[in-house]
Amino acid sequence: MRTFWKVPKKFFNVSELQKAVLPKLDYNYEDLEPVLTKEIVEIHHTKHHQAYIDNYNRLIPQLQDAISKGETEKIVNLTKDIKFNGGSHVNHSIYWKNLAPIKSNFLFLLF
């Protein structure tokens, strides 16, 4: 792979990036029933969301390696994938915070 220009390493402090981790939910998987089944919530949390985290964490060392080698094209491609998986992790983390058992939303339902 050709390097078109040298990437200044000072702009990429990838070594300080923390590993993404699956957030603990504020409720149990079955607490969202009957709207969402326990099985759906558990699969979405432990498999679907976890896949974005695994991909993000797998790509970070590859980015560190590409930066150290000055592989500009690879850096650009990896950052797209990191943005997608990292963004999906952030979006899912927000999603989980916006869900709550029906009994928690009782006052909201009154208005």
CB 70 within 8 A of CB 6: yes
pLDDT, tens only, 70-110? 999 999 999 999 999 999 999 999 999 999 998 755 555 55
Question: Residue 48 above 60 pLDDT?
Answer: yes
Total structural domains in the chain?
1
Q: What is the CATH number of the domain that holds 61?
A: 1.10.287.990
17 within a domain of the structure (yes/no)? no
Q: What is the pLDDT of residue 13?
A: 62
- Is 51 a domain residue? yes
Let me know if residue 27 belongs to a domain: no
Q: What is the pLDDT of residues 33-42, one digit of tens each?
A: 999 999 999 9
Distance CA 111, CA 107 (A): 7
Please, what is the angle between helix 72-97 and helix 50-69, to 10°? 150
Judge whether 6 lies within some domain: no
The fraction of the chain above a pLDDT of 70, given in percent, is 78
Collapsing DSSP to helix, strand or coil, 94 comes out as helix
Residue 84 included in any domain? yes
Is there a domain that residue 20 lies in? no
Domain span holding position 82: 32-110
- Which residues, in sequence order, are CB contacts of 74 under 8 Å at separation 6+? 1, 62, 66
